[in-house]
Amino acid sequence: MRQEIEEAARGRSGREFWRSLEELADTEKFRTFLHREFPALNAPEADPAMLDPTGRRNFMKLMSASLAMAGLTACTRQPKEYIVPYVKKPEGMVPGKPAYYATSMTLGGVAQGLLVRSNEGRPTKIEGHPDHPGTMGGTDVFAQASVLSLYDPDRSQSVTYLGDFRTWGDFVTAFRSALDGQKPRQGAGFRILTETSTSPTLAAQMQKVMAEFPQAKWHVYEPATRDGAREGARLAFGEPVHAVYQLDKASVLLSLDADFLTNGPGAVRYARDFVARRRLTGGAKEMNRLYVVESTLSTTGAKADHRLPLKASDVLSFARAVAAGCGVDAGAPGPLSAEAKKMAEAVARDLKANPGQGLVLAGEHQPAAVHAIANAINAAVGAIGSTVILTDPIEVQPVDQAQSLAELVRDMNAERVDLLLILGGNPVYNAPVFKDEKSGKALTFLDAMQKVGLRVHLGLYVDETAEHCQWHVAEAHYLESWSDARTHDGTACIIQPLIEPLYRGKSAHELLAVVGNEPGIPPYDLVRNYWKGQLGESFEQTWRQAVHDGFVASTARAPKAVALRSDWAATLPSSPAKSGQEIVFRLDPSVYDGRFANNSWLQELPKPISKVTWDNYAIVSARTAASIGLSPNDEPYHANAKMVRLVHEGRELSMPAWVQPGHPDDSVTVYLGYGRTRAGSVGTRLGFNTYTLRSASAPFIATTGVRFEVGEGNYQLASTQEHFSISTSDIKSDFMIPGEDLEARHIVRTASLADYQHDPHEALHHGAHKPGKELTVFTPWKYEGYAWGMAIDMNACVGCNACVVACQSENNIAVVGKDLVTKGRIMHWLRIDTYFKGGAVNPEVFFQPMMCQHCENAPCEVVCPVNATVHDAEGLNVQVYNRCVGTRYCSNNCPYKVRRFNYLLYGDWDTPSLKNVRNPEVTIRSRGVMEKCTFCSQRIMAGKIEAEKQNRKVKDGEIQTACQTACPTEAIIFGDLNDPESRVAKLKLEPRNYDVLADLNTRPRASYLAAIRNTNAELGNGHGNSHDGHAGGAKNHG
């Protein structure tokens, strides 16, 4: 082959030479040659030696490659590229105008409906799908960030065998022959492992496979299992029914360690429905009430009207106490604190007082017993059929995943498996630790897997699992392939691709087609053919509509009439008598189970509440930290977290401790998903692998053989916000001056619902000062046309971070990395400030999204020496990047500190694939300029142009900022203040409306609606009030 190239080259000269070589380089043949000869050029992750950027071997390989390819690399001329004008423009395609397509992303198997923006054929931005039953227009962080994963240059890019590049054809041949070997044994040695799936097409394909290999087994596993819920339903109702909550109908909610607002199926929809009952706008005076009993302080806990920190293992006792109060016999609760008992009684009374409007939700990682009790209480208070609807399961294989995986490991360990097909997932990394039945020793998934003859892995990355499988097939991203899935209520969604697979990845459907001996059918046909069989009459029309809408209308699961079994409580385990130390495993709020580890947007996303980026850590309460000798950090600002050594069943892990207000004592929460060894250039070797501590027997709450003690050394965590309470408290008292409080700043305004109903102004704004408009030396601006403004409802904000990632995606915001986050250089234009109120034991938590406030009297505008930040006729504070010389005076003078400076060249200007993810409407900022929120001026422009074309004014809601469209709860509303009928103008007249730092007379265009807590008078004001006695209403201060 090389000779061919050289010969071809020798025969030509001058310009022709280069062109022909490149033409040559473009052929399939040449590419195969290149892959075989120089694997390093294309997929550095294929070879561990290549991971070390300074490795000598790496250097030598690249050197030899570049010498051989000198014809290509030494070329100083621009490469010859062909532009192809549209001879006939495709219909509906306007160059420069984005198109939107409906599709869905699955997480934990459950679909989240999306609209994806495509600029000239490149998907660039994920938007919510307003008509989708699973989201109602919101999104979560993972969906927002998924577009970056699509273009991730570290993604697996080909089929490999033992790390060498192969073609898809090679793979099919080899795989088919292995399957043929299984044929005579009816697939007895054949196992398929998938993640949770709700795809009807996949189910149909699996049926076919199972028919062909009746002895084969299909196992399902992923770390975020819903085994507890499934088993709890089986205990209560006799079958694993799936619960769909109707939160908009619920007036009293009890969360038993359930983070239902940001986690689990339907969270986006649930957040929307939950907040619908808390809006308090347009004269509404009533709210729902949320009680949260939880171990780890979650965003749901932060929204609670009453929250009780309770060890995860004690939640069962609490559930029993509530059940007893509701007249349900669920067994005797274990010992509970007086506070917990009081709360349980109050909750039970509240639930009983609101029949048919109460709802108890159990956390997915809580054991089956808690779910069973929650179901029983729901049945008792008339919730079933009203606030909770039970349906058939939405998963295609509703098995107990822990058991399913254990069974697979047992079979593999006994060498009963010859062929293992892993469709997605990364079990080598994220499976728990098993016990060898014979020897009693710890057994990892990898140990067992290596006893399998042939291992085939389909995955987006060459990850830990791919590393130990002979065959690896690059998977197609969901934006690249056809599939289908169900949303939380069972509605079937069609997943349509927006782009050809970038790296010729394959979907699970294509692999299963090979197993089913029908290779070569494109995935489009696989999905379409399935639905052809389902939709029957008038298929074409329905299909077109379904693909257009992103979901198949009226396919939601029908409610299922099931009754509580009479003996449901018989098999429940007894409550723990006295609980010792426990370790709680939770999915990471940013990288989930570790699958998003290589997504830098998510890595740099400050985790809700702790605001830590790029790491995981062990969360402990202040009291526990003190009791095990982790005295409160003596260094300011968590700069150096102390290490804590966690021991579970003899396995040890040292990780940095994070003292979290509101965490129960004697409990440690660790996030899963870090400590990856083969994640890619971003995610490898970040944080600590907590899967190594996790046992198959106790996947979420480990209580036996648990110990934690002070570890050695310190660890640098990169947090973007320091934690200060707005009231006097013991939170971070080391760094606050004793007796100092921040209430006089009136940053967060809050009141109880009762006080608010009584006198909103007195309750919220007492003591706050807002100077008159005339108090400025500059001539006030006049806004004749539009006057853009924003209102942010702190009662609605659940702190989920979707807006932060949406902003990053829309505005091409750079990622700076952990070191620079530590230095205070994070570039997010929008951040979510978290404030505590009350003591460290159980504080109230408030979220305040903070971005450029677009002040009418902007302090930044006055001080810029070169007029780079100026006021526009519509009230926007405009940053002119071209003009900015970077004095940073504007940032210094900004009271909200929302400006971000490019201290270094942060943007990745080189990686070709990452160029595609950028929004072409927004400039990439260079080094040395200031940037900040623009209220998405590119969207405002687009909206105005559209309106002007039709010779009308922009309609309210026509222009939506990126944060607004991403928000699951419509907490952010943008619009024209000059239009008295606009939503934002009306919100600004609400009694809850206030400006942050109004006393500075900056006249911000963004204002906030105060947070109201619907407290139960029986339990006193605010969160558990047994602590320091400082928690209370806003203090009066001039």
Partner 1 sequence: MATQEARRTMAEATDKKAYVDPRPPVIGPGYDFNSLTNKIADIVLMRRFQKGWVFGFGIAFLGALLLFNTIAYLVLKGVGIWGNSVPVGWAFDIINFVWWIGIGHAGTLISAILLLLRQSWRNSINRFAEAMTLFAVACAGLFPALHTGRPWLDYWLFPYPNTMGMWPNFRSPLMWDVFAVSTYATVSALFWFIGLIPDFATMRDTAKQKWQRSIFGILSMGWRGDARHWHRYETAYLLLAGLSTPLVLSVHSIVSYDFAVGIIPGWHATIFPPYFVAGAIYAGFAMVLTIGIPVRKFYHLEDFITLRHIRNMAKIMLATGLIVGYGYLMELFFAWYSGNTYEQFMMKNRMYGPYGYMYWLLILCNILVPQLLWIKKFRENLFVVFLVSMFINVGMWLERFVIIVMSLNRDFLPSSWRMYTPTVFDFSMFFGTIGFFLTLMFLFIRFVPMIPIFEMKALLPQSKVQESKEDEKAKGSEPLGGALPQFGD
The footprint of partner 1 (CB under 8 A) covers 636-637, 639, 721-722, 724, 726, 735, 737, 740, 742, 744-745, 747, 820, 823-825, 831, 833-835, 848, 850, 859, 862-867, 883-889, 891-893, 895-897, 899-905, 927-930, 996-997, 1000, 1037-1038
**Rounded Cα gap, residues 566 and 563, in angstroms:** 9
Of 147 and 996, nearer to partner 1 (C-beta) is 996
Of 823 and 915, nearer to partner 1 (C-beta) is 823
Per-residue HEC secondary structure of 766-792 comes to CCCCCCCCCCCCCCCCCCCCCCEEEEE
For the CB of residue 895, give the shortest distance to partner 1 in the complex, in Å: 4
Contacts of residue 175, defined as CB under 8 A and 6 or more positions apart, other chains included, come to 456, 471, 514, 515
Residue pair 197/109 in contact by the 8 Å Cβ criterion: yes
Of 218 and 901, nearer to partner 1 (C-beta) is 901
For the CB of residue 875, give the shortest distance to partner 1 in the complex, in Å: 19
For the CB of residue 1000, give the shortest distance to partner 1 in the complex, in Å: 6
For the CB of residue 833, give the shortest distance to partner 1 in the complex, in Å: 4
Strand, coil or helix: 942: helix
Strand, coil or helix: 327: coil
Residue pair 481/501 in contact by the 8 Å Cβ criterion: yes
For the CB of residue 899, give the shortest distance to partner 1 in the complex, in Å: 7
For the CB of residue 110, give the shortest distance to partner 1 in the complex, in Å: 33
Contacts of residue 821, defined as CB under 8 A and 6 or more positions apart, other chains included, come to 604, 613, 614, 718, 720
Residue pair 288/252 in contact by the 8 Å Cβ criterion: yes
Of 414 and 639, nearer to partner 1 (C-beta) is 639
Of 738 and 912, nearer to partner 1 (C-beta) is 738
DSSP H/E element including 346:
helix 338-353
CA distances to 180, 215, 624 from 209, in Å: 13, 10, 53
Of 895 and 1032, nearer to partner 1 (C-beta) is 895
Of 902, 909, 900, the closest CA to residue 807 belongs to 900
For the CB of residue 531, give the shortest distance to partner 1 in the complex, in Å: 49
Provide DSSP, 819-879: HHHHTT----SSEEEEEEES-SSS-EEEEEEE-----TT-HHHHH-TT--EEE-TTS-EEE
**Rounded Cα gap, residues 795 and 1008, in angstroms:** 10
Of 173 and 867, nearer to partner 1 (C-beta) is 867
| DSSP β-bridge partners for residue 613 | 718
| DSSP β-bridge partners for residue 707 | 647
The two tokens of residue 95 are 């160059």
Rg (CA), the chain: 29
Residue pair 181/408 in contact by the 8 Å Cβ criterion: no
| DSSP β-bridge partners for residue 165 | 160
- For the chain, report the end-to-end CA distance as a whole number of angstroms: 83
Of 557 and 638, nearer to partner 1 (C-beta) is 638
Give the CA count within 13 Å in the CB-facing half-sphere of 856.
24
Of 811 and 834, nearer to partner 1 (C-beta) is 834
| DSSP β-bridge partners for residue 190 | 419
Of 69 and 744, nearer to partner 1 (C-beta) is 744
For the CB of residue 929, give the shortest distance to partner 1 in the complex, in Å: 6
**Rounded Cα gap, residues 858 and 869, in angstroms:** 10
For the CB of residue 867, give the shortest distance to partner 1 in the complex, in Å: 4
Of 42 and 887, nearer to partner 1 (C-beta) is 887
Of 708 and 835, nearer to partner 1 (C-beta) is 835
Of 791, 716, 850, the closest CA to residue 993 belongs to 791
**Rounded Cα gap, residues 262 and 365, in angstroms:** 14
Of 496 and 720, nearer to partner 1 (C-beta) is 720
Of 392 and 833, nearer to partner 1 (C-beta) is 833
For the CB of residue 1038, give the shortest distance to partner 1 in the complex, in Å: 6
Of 18 and 637, nearer to partner 1 (C-beta) is 637
Which of the 8 DSSP states describes residue 699? S
**Rounded Cα gap, residues 460 and 474, in angstroms:** 6
CA distances to 216, 289, 753, 764, 1013 from 757, in Å: 64, 15, 6, 11, 11
For the CB of residue 931, give the shortest distance to partner 1 in the complex, in Å: 11
Of 355 and 824, nearer to partner 1 (C-beta) is 824
For the CB of residue 761, give the shortest distance to partner 1 in the complex, in Å: 21
Vertex 184 angle, CA 181 and 189, to 5°: 65
For the CB of residue 462, give the shortest distance to partner 1 in the complex, in Å: 33
CA distances to 118, 653, 667, 689, 998 from 670, in Å: 38, 11, 10, 10, 40
For the CB of residue 1035, give the shortest distance to partner 1 in the complex, in Å: 11
For the CB of residue 737, give the shortest distance to partner 1 in the complex, in Å: 5
Of 631 and 892, nearer to partner 1 (C-beta) is 892
| DSSP β-bridge partners for residue 752 | 1013
Token pair 């949770």: residue: 196
For the CB of residue 894, give the shortest distance to partner 1 in the complex, in Å: 9
Contacts of residue 3, defined as CB under 8 A and 6 or more positions apart, other chains included, come to none
Token pair 């150096």: residue: 640
Residue pair 65/39 in contact by the 8 Å Cβ criterion: no
For the CB of residue 906, give the shortest distance to partner 1 in the complex, in Å: 9
Outline where 622-725 has alpha helix (H).
622-627
Residue pair 786/952 in contact by the 8 Å Cβ criterion: no
Contacts of residue 566, defined as CB under 8 A and 6 or more positions apart, other chains included, come to none
Beta-carbon count within 10 A of 1038 CB: 5
For the CB of residue 990, give the shortest distance to partner 1 in the complex, in Å: 23
Of 491 and 891, nearer to partner 1 (C-beta) is 891
